[in-house]
Amino acid sequence: MNSQPAVPAETKPESTWKQTLWSYVMLLLIAGTIILLDQITKEWVRDNLAYGQSFIPWPDIAPYARIIHWRNTGAAFGLFQEGGGIFMILAIVVGAMIIFYYPKIQKEDWALRMAMGLQLGGAVGNLADRVQHGHVTDFVSVSNFPVFNIADTSITFGVLILLVGVWFGSGEEKPAEKPGDSQPNDQPTTPQGL
């Protein structure tokens, strides 16, 4: 008779490998969707609008929003122009950190998983532009707000989801009780003051 306890399924190397693989599949689905949408829309803008040219699909929105072919050599929303090289390095570092850290996130923490996927997709989308064209193609112009693209929006929503997740998840979590950890109180309880 074998007296050694059985190894729980979740700690078996095979199970851990499958969980890691599944984590990366989810990351690639989220980030890949963003990258695809970002690159398709930017390509459409580059193919159909000359630099600086606007497109307004509905005249009623003209005072508030338009599509314009714009170039950005800085950060999201046109910040820090001419810093493209720094932002290429930063995107690579952030992407590598997300890829490394992602499997360590608890599978129940969907907000952090979504935030990381959105940020990776946005970072890679803009990085692809910098590598291919030397600048990022922006095209969404809303009122007086700086021109942006889907990758910028994805990064922004990723940060917002992360902040909301931290804000609402900042309460101290109690460790889960394991079966057999609780000890029954054999002493009878009496009301206070008696």
Q: What is the DSSP letter of 136?
A: E
Helix ranges (DSSP H) in 49-139: 84-101, 110-133
Q: Which helix H or strand E contains 31, and what residues bound it?
A: helix 13-48
Angle between helices 13-48 and 150-168 (to 10 degrees): 140
What is the C-alpha to C-alpha distance for residues 7 and 91, in angstroms, rounded to an integer? 40
Whether 181 is catalytic is no
What is the C-alpha to C-alpha distance for residues 97 and 120, in angstroms, rounded to an integer? 10
Residues 6 or more apart whose Cβ sits within 8 Å of residue 9: 15
Of 38, 47, 152, 186, catalytic: 152
What is the C-alpha to C-alpha distance for residues 163 and 106, in angstroms, rounded to an integer? 17
- Single-letter amino acid code for the residue at 27: L
The position carrying tokens 């803008």 is: 45
Whether 138 is catalytic is yes
Retrieve residue 38's tokens. Answer: 């970002």
Confirm if 150 and 120 have CB atoms less than 8 A apart: no
Of 38, 129, 138, 186, catalytic: 138
Query: What is the set of active-site residues?
Result: 138, 152
